Amino acid sequence: MSPLNDNELNSLLEQAKRKSPEPPPQLAARTLRAYEAKVARSISWRRYFLRRVSVPWPIGALAALLFVLIGALTDHSFRQPLTVGGGRASDAALTHPTAVLTFKEFQPVSEIKPRVIRSIRDDQ
């Protein structure tokens, strides 16, 4: 069968173009709901976290001072010297591992028990 000529094809395409399906009316509402769910919600969260809060300066200064004090106290407690038998041996091992571990901890292996591990596929 011989192919269509240009005019015949153009005629067909023109008819098909006129009969293009229209988007259903409910698509607008659906898309708007999706927009509100995904975009508006994330924006409201962003607003919540990034919103400005005005604080009177004496309270702000007091809060800043409090933060500095807490920081200093915390730092001081971490720098307390370790006492032997003071119940903080594990802390000592963590903070000063070289003071606890020696080469005596590394004993030679008394017996070697090798295990060969292989895949089931190797048998096939």
Partner 1 sequence: MEEQDEMALLARAIKGDAEAFRMLYEAHHAALFRIAYRLTSAVEIAEDLTQECFIRLMGRTRFDKERGTLRQYLYGILRNLVRQKQQASGREVEWDAETEVDAASTLVLSADSLASAELSEAVQAAISALPPLQREAIVLCEFEELSLGEAAAVLGTDVGTLKSRLHRAREGLRRLLAPYRGHIATQLGRGSN
Shortest Å distance, C-beta 45 to partner 1 = 11
Q: Which parts of this chain interact with partner 1 (CB under 8 A)?
A: 1-6, 8-9, 11-13, 15-17, 19-24, 27-28, 30-32, 34-36, 38-40, 43-44
| 37 secondary structure, DSSP code | I
Between CA 19 and CA 91 the distance in angstroms is: 79
Closer to partner 1 at the Cβ: 11 or 95?
11
CB 10 within 8 A of CB 17: no
Closer to partner 1 at the Cβ: 7 or 110?
7
Between CA 70 and CA 49 the distance in angstroms is: 25
Closer to partner 1 at the Cβ: 46 or 96?
46
